[in-house]
Structure 1
Amino acid sequence: MKTTPFSRRGFLQTTAAASLASSLPAAHAVTANLPTTTAPVADTLLRWLDGKAPARFEGSTLGVPWPRGQVKLPAGKAPEFRLANQPVQSWPLAYWPDGSLKWTAHAVAGGVPAGELKLEGGTPAAGTVAVRQAGDRVTVSAGDLVWTVATRGEALIAEATRAGRVTLKNLRLVALRQDGADPELDGKVSRKSFRSKVTAVTVEQQGPVRAVLKLDGTHSANVDGKGRDWLPFSVRLYFYAGAESVRIVHSFVWDGDPAKDFIAGLGVTAQVPMTNATHDRHVRFSGEGVGVWGEAVRPVTGLRRDPGQAYKDAQVAGQALPPLSGMATAVQNGLKWIPEWNDFSLSQTGADGFAITKRTQAGQAWIASNGGTRCKGLVYAGGASGGVALGLKDFWQRAPVRLDVRGAATELAEVTAWLYSPSAPAMDMRSYRSPGDMDTHEKQIEGLNITYEDYEPGWDNSVGVARTSELQLWVLGATPTHQAFSDMAEQVANPARLVLSPQRIHACGVFGDWDPVGTGTPARKLIEDRLALQLDQYLREVEQHRWYGFWNYGDVMHTYDVDRHMWRYDIGGYAWDNSELSTDLWLWTSYLRTGRADVFKLAEAMTRHTGEVDVYHLGELKGFGTRHGVQHWSDSSKQPRISNAAYRRFYFYLTADERCGDLIRELLDSDADIGKVDISRKLAPGAGPRTTELPGVGFGTTWGSWIAAWLTEWERTGDTRWRDKLVNGMQSIGDLRRRWFAGGAPYDAKTGKFQGPGADVSISHLNAVFGVAEMSSELLTLVDVPAYRRAWLEYCRFYNAPKHEIAALLGKDPGGRSLTDTCSRLTAYAAFHDKDHSLALRAWREFFTSRALRGGGQLRRVGGVDTLRPLIEQPTISTNDSAQWGLAGIQNLALVGDALDEAAKAAGLVP
C-alpha cells in the first residue's frame, strides 16, 4: 500500500543527539524549498585518520558537515570555532537551502595537538600567519619564517628566510622536452629545458592559521617571451601556522604534440645557499620504511686517520664539528685531500627499487652508494646553519621519479624533486595503436565486438589531460636529526589528517543513503563481511598487479582474465577502469561508513587520478571524460559520465581541497558543449534518444552526470541559477509522457529543460549506474519537485518489476532491463519512501540474485610458474560488478535494512 513519501534525511536529523551551536546567530536565507529541522548532532570530536597522533604535524584542513538549520550565520560573517588551544581557521564550504551551513572547512595549525580534539563554537586560539602585498611581491610570514613570492617571472617563491637568514632561493618548475621517442637501437634525440613563467598570483586566504596563494603560468623556454610556452600549470602554496614547511599542490595540463613532444623530465627545484664548511654540509634521503641515508659533503668518518669520536658523532648527527683545533693533527692537515661530493641522486625507476649515487663534480663518474625498494620521497641539503628539505607524495607509486642535489660543494646548491625522472625513457603520449583498416563505423563496431574497444582514428588523443602532484617544502634552521628527518618523510608519504567518525558525518544526512557499518545480526554480518572482502581485494590488487606509475596510479582495472591470471590490461575496453560504473562512488561511500584509512587513501588516489587524467581540460573535448581503455585516453567514447562531478564531491567536502573544487567548476557549462560530440554516433538509427535540432541527452548517463556540478555550485555559493537549472531538468523529465522511462530527450542547454512529448519508451541498464541514483536521493531532500519525485519513484518501483507489472504500466514489456541485483537499490528506494514492506522484501530478493553471496567471492592462492609472483586471486572479480554490487548493498542496508533478516532467512542465507 502506497503512502506519502518522506525524507530519510529529515528523519535522521530529527533523531540525532546533543547540540553544537544553537546559540549562533540566525541564518541569512539563500532559498527555502523544504522545511528545516532543529535537531542537534553529537559532539564534534576530531580523530586521526590513521588512529594515532603523528610524530610530526605540519597542519591540515578538513571539512565538517552540519545538520540542516543548526549552524546559522548572518550574511557575510565567517563562522568561528575553537579546537581547545590549537589555532584553527574556519570558513563556509556549502549551505543548506535555508541558508544554514551544510559544510564548514577548518584549517588546523601545525604541532601535534594534545588532549581531546573537540571542535565547538567559540573564539579560536590565535594563529601566526600573515600576508602582505606590496608592488610585485607577496610576503607570507609564519613565526620566524618569511616567504617572498613574486607576482611575475620564473620563481614560484623568490626567497625564504629563517630567523633572518636567507635559506632558500628561486623555487621554480623545470621541464625537459625531447623531440622524439628514445631510439630503440641507434639514432639521436635532442632535449631542451623549460622553466616556469608565472603570469598571475592570487591570494586566496590570508591567515591567521592558513594562507593560500595560487600561481598560474606556463613552462617557457625563455621567460622574456621569445621562446615557446607550453604545459600550463596551476600551483597552490599552503602556509600553516606552527609549521616549518609549505605544502605545494602542482597541477599541469598536457598540451604538446604527441608525435613531436616528449616530456623527458618534469620537476620542482630550489636553490639552497651553502655557507658552512663542506664538512658541516649534509645531504639526507629517506630510505625504506623509517630508514634514513645521511652523509656529509666532505666526510670525516672512515678515514685512514681517526679525527676523534666527537667529530665523527657530530657529523653523523648533522651537527657542526667541534673546533678543528681539537682534531687529530693528521686529519686537520689532510682535510683538503678528502673529496668533496658535489652531486647526489636517488632514482626510483619503478615501484620496487631505488638507487643512490653521488659524484664529485659534473664530468666525473657517478659512484654507487646504496639502494632499496621503496623510498618515501624526501631529500635534504644544507648545513649546520640551515637548509632545505623537499618531498614528493606518492613517490614510489608515481615512479619513475628522482631526487637530486646538485652543487652541494658550491655556494649555491640545488635541490630537485622530479615528478617525472630524466633518467627514465621520455614520456610517450602517442596512441598505443595505429589506425589500421578501421576507417568506418561499421569496421569499428566489428572491432568493438572483439576487444570491447570503441576505436576511432583521431579520438585517442592525449592532448588536454592533466595531472596533480603534492609536495612538501621545509626551510630549516639546522640539519635535521635522522629521527626528525624520518618523521618528516612520513609526513610526505602519509600526511596526517584529522577526520570525523562515520557516525558524526551520518548524523548530518549528507551524501545520500548510507549508514555506518553494523554487524548486529547474522544477515547483516554476512553482507558487511562480503563488502569488506571486496574492498580488501582491490587494495590487494593494486599491489599484486602494480597499478602504479605517473599516469596510472589511482586507477584500477576493469576486467580480469582468469586464464592468464592477469587483468586485461592489453585488451581494448577491458583495461583501465576510468570510473566506469561509479567505482569512485563505491570507494568513497565505503570510507564514509567504515572510516578505514586504507580505503580513504585508495579513494583519494583515485580522485586525484580520475578527475585529471581521464578528463579533458582544454580543447574541443574539454569537460568530457574517456571511457575505459588500454590507455586512459585511448577509447573514442568521450562522455560526461566519466567527468562526473559526483565522483569528486566527497574529496572536496571532506578535505576542502581547492584543486578538486576547480575541477568541479570546470564542468559547470559542459552541457553547452554536448553538441560537439555525438555520443550515439555509432548506434543503429533510432537506438539513441529521439533528436530534433537539439541534441538528444540521456537522463542517467549524461544529464545525471552534470547535476552534481550544478548542485555543488549552488551549495557553495547560493547562486540560485544553478538550483533553477536543476529544477528545470527535473520538472521537464517529470512532465514527459513516459517520464524516466523515456530514457532521454532533446535537451536545451540554455534553459536546462528537456523537450518533446517523451512518448517513446527507452530503457538502458546503464541509466542508473553513473551516480544519478545517489544524486537523485540528495536532490529530492533539497528541492521540492513533485513531478520529478513521482517520476523517480515510479522508475525505482518498476525498473525491476515483474514483466506483467511493467507491461501494465507501459503497455508492453519494453525489455532492456538487466543488472537486477545492483538495481535492487532502486526498488529499495521506492520501498523506503512508499513505506512498502513487501517491496523491501523484493529488493532483497533482487539483491540476492547476485552470485556474490553464494560463493562468487571466494579467493584462492595462485603461484609457482603460473604467475609472475604469488597472488591471492578472486577468479570472478569484475570492477563493474564490485562497484555496483557494493553501492547496492550499502544503499539497501540504509534504506530497507529492517527487512534484511526476514528476507535472508526466506532465501536460506542465514538460519
Structure 2
Amino acid sequence: MKSSFSLTRRAFVKNSMMAASLPLTSSVDFPTLHQTNVSTANTPVSLDWLDKQVSPFFRGTTWGTPWAKGLHKKGTAFTLSSNENEIPIQTWPLAFWPDGSLKWTAHAVAKHIHLDKNLQLKAGKTNKANTVLKVQEGSTTIKIDTGKIQCEINKQGKTLITSLQREGQLIAQDGKLVLSVQDNVEADEAFKIDSFEGKIDKVSIEQSGAIRAVVKIEGSHQNTVSKNLLPFVLRLYFYAEAESIRMIHTIIYDGDENKDFIKGLGIRFSVPLKEALYDRHIRFVGENSGVFTEAVQGLSGLRRDAGRTALDAQLVGKSVTQLPENVLKNIQYIPAFGDYTLYQGSPDAFDIQKRTKAGYSWIQSAFGGRASGTGYVGTPKGGIAFGIRNFWQSFPAQIDIKNAHTELGELTLWLWAPKSPAMDLRFYHDGMGEDTHEKQYNALDITYEDYEPEFGKPYGVARTSEVQIWILSETPSGDDLVEIAKQIQEPDLLVASPEYLAQVGIFGSAFSIPEKTASNQKQAIENQLDFYFDYYKKQIDQRRWYGFWNFGDVMHSYDNDRHVWRYDVGGFAWDNSELSTDLWLWYYFLRTGRSDVFRVAEAMTRHTGEVDVHHIGRFSPLGSRHNVLHWGCSAKQLRISTAANRRFYYYLTADERVGDLMREQVNADRTLRTIIPGRKIGQKAPESDPKGELASVSFGTDWGALSAAWLTEWERTENPQVKAKLLNSMQTIAEQAHGFFTGLATMELATGKFRQEDAQKLSVSHLSAVFGLAEICAELIELVDMPIFEKAWLQYCQLYNATAEEQKAVLGESLKKLNLEQGHARLTAFAAKRGKDTTLGKRAWKEFYAGDGGIKKPSMKITQISGTKVLNPVEEGEGISTNAVAQWGLAAIQCLAFVGNDLE
C-alpha cells in the first residue's frame, strides 16, 4: 500500500507557497484533531496508590489527572470517593486542550478516615473538609493553621519561620537557612570559613485552599558584611489536619568556584526543651527499620537501679514519673549528652557520635550503612521529627542536634555535611592547551569531550532537595518513626492506570500498554524493555551513582577493558539526558505504572532539570552536554534543558518547582544569539541584526526544545503570544523548500517566524529528532490542524530512513549516510500510523530489527566480574550503552504504539 503522505518535491513546494498566504497571528484558532472517546463526563477515573497502599502516616498528597479533549469544560469541579465514601479534595487546572476544555487537572487530598482503596475521581461538587486550612497574611508575617499545627512565616529578615506550634504549644522556632563557605581547599594552605544565613527577598502565597496551601520564599544567603551568595527558593507545603510540613529547597550556585567552596548547607531550627534531662529524647532511624534510641540523660546501666517502671518509660519516650531516692540524690552526676551528630559520608556508611557539650570529646555511638535521614528531638510532651529525602543517596549529609541539655536545643538538617570536605566545583583539568576551535575539535575526536575555556564553570547550576518537618505532641514510638521515615522517603502519590493514560490521548499517544496475550515477537520486546530498566536500576546501586550533585543521573558509556563505566573519559561519563534517557524512562512508566520506574525517573527529572542546566548567568537557561562534570561541556544546548523531559513529572505531580524549570525555557531562544550551538562548525549569528531581534535556530534540537516549552506554556496558561510564536514557527518551518530538511534558519525572536532559506539548501543531522522533537511533533500534529506542518514532518519521518533513490526523488539529492536508523524507526512508524500505511509500518519494524546505529542483537546476557580484575564484584550487560538503550527503548515503545499490528 502506498503511503497517502508521499510527497513529490514539486507538490511540497506548492503546498508551502499556498500556506504562506495564511495569517499568522495569535487570533488564529486551529481545531484539535485528536478526540478520544474514553469516557463521558460522568464516568469516574479509577486511581491507585503508586506503591499500591497508603502509608499509615499519610498526611496529604497532590497529583495530576488527564482528561480527553472536550470532556470537561473550564471550571468543572471534581469529587473523589474511596470505597464509595466521599473524600474532600482541592482542584485546579494544569493544562487545557486548544478548545479550552480541561486537559490536566491537579488535585490535593488530606488525611481522611475513609481514604484507602477503590478511589474514583469524577466531575461533581466535592464535600467540604471537616477541618479547613487557614491562611492569614499580614504586613510582616503569614500564619498557617492546618488544624493541628500553626506556622508563622516572616516576610523579611533572616528568620524564615518564626514559630511552629502544635495546638498552641511552641515546639520549634527561628527556622533559618544556613551556609558555610570555605575559601580554599588545598591541603597545604591555610583557609578560613565564613558563615551565611538565608535572607528573605520575597514571600508569596502560591496557593491557599481548604486542603492545601503553598508558600514560596525567595532570597539569598548573606554574611555579616552583606555579601550575598547562593540564591534560594524554599517552598512550604501545608495540608489540612496535617502535623507535617513538606519543604522543597533549591539553591543556585552563583559563586566563584575557585574560592567559594561550600562547607555546609542546611536548614536550622531552635527547639525549646523544658522537661527534665532524662525526659529529653533523641532518635535517628538507620536502615532496615533500626532506630537509635537515647535520652539526653540516660537512666539505664547505672550503678543504682532506676527501677523497671522508670526505665521502661524512658526507653519508649514516655515521662518518667518516679525515681528512687538513691538515684535522685546524685542525678546531677549522670552526664547529660547535649550534642548528637549523624554523618552520612558515603552511600554505604554512616556514624553517630555524641558529646556532653562544646569543648569536650565526641564519643562514638554507632555505625551503620544507609541512614534514612529521619529522626526526632523533643520530650514526652512534644517535639520535632524531621527527615531529608534521599538522605544517603545524596551524601554527604548530616544531622546535628546541639544543646539538648539546655532549655533551647538546636536542630540542623545539613544537605551538604560540614564534616565532609568542602564542595569542590572546579573544572577537572587545565584545558591542555585547547585554545582554538581546531584543537578542541581534535580533542573531541579522541575523548569525545567538547571543551572550551570558561565554559566549564558551575555558575548557574542548581540543586533541589526535599525535607519534611513533623510537629508532634509526644515522642513517637520506634515503629511510628520508621513509618514516618518510609513516608518521607517514598511519599504517597495517586496515579491513574496505564490503561487510562494510554487511552486518553496524552504525550502524543506515543505509548501503549503491554498486551496480556502478546505474540512471541511482542513479548520478546516487552521482556527486553523490562530487562533494560532493571539492569540500569541495579547499576545505579552497584556502581554507586549517588551524591549531592550526581544522584539521579546515569553514565553514558561503558569501558569493557576496565569493567567500569567511563566516569573519567571526556564526554563518555555522566549522561546528562543524551539521546533522551529521561523520555525512555517516563514512557516506560506510563505504560507499566511501576513505582520503581517512577522513582528512578523522578530522581532523573530532579537532577537533569537542575544540575545539568544553567539557571542564571551567560549560559542561562541552556543545559550542558554529557561530560565528566555535569556542567563541564562547552556544548550549552537546549536539547539538555528541554521542557520535553520535565512535562511528565509536572503533569503527574503538579510540582511547582518543575513548573518553574519549564517556564525558564520559554524565552531560551534569546540565549542562542550569543551562545551559538554550532559555532565550532560554522554556524553564525544572523547578519544585520543591530537590535538583537534574530537568532539562528536549528529545526531539530533547538526548535524541538523551544516548541516543547511553548506548547507547555500555551496549554498551561492559554497565553496567546506564546501560542502565536509556536504556530508561526510551525508554519514557517513547513514553508521552507525542504521543510525540516532545511536544517536551520533565522528566526524572529518576537514572532517565532523563520525567514525563508535558500531553496537549494539541504541539511540534516542524526541528532535532530532524538531529543524530544519526534515526541513533541506527534503531540502538535494531534493538537493542531495545520496540514502543511503535518506534511513537512511526515516527509521528514518517511524520508530519513528511506532509500537514496526515494530521498533523491523528493529532495533532489540523497541524504548520504545517516546514523541512528534504529531510533528513527519510530518516526517511520508515526508516518505509517498517520497515513494508515501498512507497508510503511512493516518498514518501520524492519528498520527497528536491523538495528543500524543502535542495538542489532538485544541481549539479556549478564556476566559476573569478580576477583582481581575489579575492585568489587560487578555485573556487565552485553552490548549496553545508555544512548543505544534509550533510543532502542523509545523506538520499541512507539513502534508498538503506532504500528504494533504490522508486526504480525
Alpha-carbon RMSD across the aligned residues, in angstroms, is: 1.8
Which amino acid is the alignment partner of residue 133 of structure 1? E
Secondary structure of the equivalent of 1:570? coil
Residue 544 of structure 1: CA displacement?
1.2
1:807 equivalent in structure 2: 808
**Cα distance between partner residues in 2 of 1:411 and 1:842:** 75
2:610 equivalent in structure 1: 612
1:22 equivalent in structure 2: none
**Cα distance between partner residues in 1 of 2:420 and 2:790:** 55
**Cα distance between partner residues in 1 of 2:38 and 2:603:** 34
Give yes or no for contact 2:66–2:103 (8 Å, CA) kept in 1. yes
Distance 1:436 1:32, change over 3 A: closer
Secondary structure of the equivalent of 2:782? coil
2:558 equivalent in structure 1: 560
**Cα distance between partner residues in 1 of 2:79 and 2:686:** 53
Residue 81 of structure 1: CA displacement?
2.4
Alignment of 1:139-154 (within 5 A): 139-154=143-158
Residue 435 of structure 1: CA displacement?
2.2
Give yes or no for contact 2:179–2:266 (8 Å, CA) kept in 1. yes
Give yes or no for contact 2:676–2:685 (8 Å, CA) kept in 1. no
Give yes or no for contact 1:763–1:816 (8 Å, CA) kept in 2. no
**Cα distance between partner residues in 2 of 1:719 and 1:753:** 17
1:20 equivalent in structure 2: none
Residue 30 of structure 1: CA displacement?
11
**Cα distance between partner residues in 2 of 1:695 and 1:155:** 44
2:496 equivalent in structure 1: 500
Alignment of 1:339-738 (within 5 A): 339-512=335-508, 513-519=510-516, 520-683=518-681, 685=682, 694-738=694-738
Secondary structure of the equivalent of 1:753? coil
- Indicate whether 1:132 and 2:136 are aligned: yes
- Indicate whether 1:254 and 2:253 are aligned: yes
**Cα distance between partner residues in 2 of 1:3 and 1:440:** 48
Give yes or no for contact 1:31–1:99 (8 Å, CA) kept in 2. no
Which amino acid is the alignment partner of residue 709 of structure 2? A
Give yes or no for contact 2:149–2:242 (8 Å, CA) kept in 1. no
- Indicate whether 1:882 and 2:880 are aligned: no
Residue 897 of structure 1: CA displacement?
0.2
1:103 equivalent in structure 2: 104
2:314 equivalent in structure 1: 315
Alignment of 1:232-243 (within 5 A): 232-243=231-242
**Cα distance between partner residues in 1 of 2:548 and 2:201:** 26
Spell out, residue by residue over 1:471-495, the C-alpha distance to the aligned partner (whole angstroms, 9 max, x if none).
0001111111111111111112111
Give yes or no for contact 2:5–2:795 (8 Å, CA) kept in 1. no
**Structure 2 residue ranges without an equivalent (≥5):** 7-26
Residue 755 of structure 1: CA displacement?
1.1
Which amino acid is the alignment partner of residue 642 of structure 1? I
Residue 731 of structure 1: CA displacement?
0.6
Spell out, residue by residue over 1:508-532, the C-alpha distance to the aligned partner (whole angstroms, 9 max, x if none).
1001111112252111101111111
May I ask how many residue pairs the two structures share in their alignment? 866
Give yes or no for contact 1:729–1:754 (8 Å, CA) kept in 2. yes
Spell out, residue by residue over 1:683-735, the C-alpha distance to the aligned partner (whole angstroms, 9 max, x if none).
1x4x7899785443211111111111111111111112222111111111111
Give yes or no for contact 2:513–2:591 (8 Å, CA) kept in 1. yes
Distance 1:501 1:212, change over 3 A: same
2:163 equivalent in structure 1: 159
Structure with the bigger RCO (C-alpha within 8 Å, sep 6+) is 2
**Cα distance between partner residues in 1 of 2:541 and 2:28:** 47
Which amino acid is the alignment partner of residue 749 of structure 1? L
Which amino acid is the alignment partner of residue 174 of structure 1? V
1:79 equivalent in structure 2: 77
Secondary structure of the equivalent of 2:330? helix
Give yes or no for contact 1:282–1:479 (8 Å, CA) kept in 2. yes
Residue 115 of structure 1: CA displacement?
4.1
Distance 1:755 1:289, change over 3 A: same
1:177 equivalent in structure 2: 181
**Cα distance between partner residues in 1 of 2:88 and 2:484:** 21
Secondary structure of the equivalent of 2:409? strand
**Cα distance between partner residues in 2 of 1:755 and 1:216:** 40
2:19 equivalent in structure 1: none
1:298 equivalent in structure 2: 297
Which amino acid is the alignment partner of residue 789 of structure 2? Y
Give yes or no for contact 1:180–1:262 (8 Å, CA) kept in 2. yes
Give yes or no for contact 2:3–2:836 (8 Å, CA) kept in 1. yes
**Cα distance between partner residues in 2 of 1:757 and 1:192:** 56
Give yes or no for contact 2:76–2:123 (8 Å, CA) kept in 1. no
Deviation larger for 31-40 or 119-128: 31-40
Residue 3 of structure 1: CA displacement?
6.6
1:867 equivalent in structure 2: 870
Give yes or no for contact 2:855–2:879 (8 Å, CA) kept in 1. no
Spell out, residue by residue over 1:602-652, the C-alpha distance to the aligned partner (whole angstroms, 9 max, x if none).
110001000111111111111111110000111111111111000000010
**Cα distance between partner residues in 2 of 1:888 and 1:576:** 23
Distance 1:439 1:382, change over 3 A: same
Residue 305 of structure 1: CA displacement?
1.5
Residue 304 of structure 1: CA displacement?
1.4
**Structure 1 residue ranges without an equivalent (≥5):** 7-28, 902-911
Alignment of 1:747-766 (within 5 A): 747-759=747-759, 760-766=761-767
Secondary structure of the equivalent of 1:536? helix
**Cα distance between partner residues in 2 of 1:290 and 1:220:** 39
Residue 340 of structure 1: CA displacement?
0.5
Give yes or no for contact 1:78–1:90 (8 Å, CA) kept in 2. no
1:23 equivalent in structure 2: none
Distance 1:30 1:220, change over 3 A: farther
TM-score, length-normalised on structure 1? 0.93
Residue 60 of structure 1: CA displacement?
0.9
Which amino acid is the alignment partner of residue 348 of structure 2? D
**Cα distance between partner residues in 2 of 1:734 and 1:192:** 57
1:44 equivalent in structure 2: 45
Which amino acid is the alignment partner of residue 513 of structure 2? P
**Cα distance between partner residues in 2 of 1:642 and 1:788:** 25
Give yes or no for contact 1:212–1:239 (8 Å, CA) kept in 2. yes
Spell out, residue by residue over 1:179-232, the C-alpha distance to the aligned partner (whole angstroms, 9 max, x if none).
111x32x3321111111111211011112100100001111113xxx4211111
Which amino acid is the alignment partner of residue 786 of structure 1? P
TM-score, length-normalised on structure 2? 0.94
**Cα distance between partner residues in 1 of 2:117 and 2:625:** 48
Give yes or no for contact 1:745–1:758 (8 Å, CA) kept in 2. no
Give yes or no for contact 2:174–2:269 (8 Å, CA) kept in 1. yes
Name the % identity: 45
Which amino acid is the alignment partner of residue 577 of structure 2? S
**Cα distance between partner residues in 1 of 2:390 and 2:789:** 44
Alignment of 1:832-843 (within 5 A): 832-843=833-844
Secondary structure of the equivalent of 2:357? coil
Distance 1:596 1:329, change over 3 A: same
Among 875, 899, 903, which residue is 1:900 paired with?
903
Give yes or no for contact 1:109–1:241 (8 Å, CA) kept in 2. yes
**Cα distance between partner residues in 1 of 2:71 and 2:772:** 28
Alignment of 1:823-862 (within 5 A): 823-850=824-851, 852=855, 854-862=857-865
Among 215, 218, 235, which residue is 2:217 paired with?
215
Deviation larger for 430-439 or 462-471: 430-439
Deviation larger for 699-708 or 117-126: 117-126
Spell out, residue by residue over 1:119-167, the C-alpha distance to the aligned partner (whole angstroms, 9 max, x if none).
1222323332110112211110011311111111112211011121111
Residue 742 of structure 1: CA displacement?
1.1
**Cα distance between partner residues in 1 of 2:858 and 2:573:** 25
Secondary structure of the equivalent of 1:313? helix
Distance 1:271 1:348, change over 3 A: same
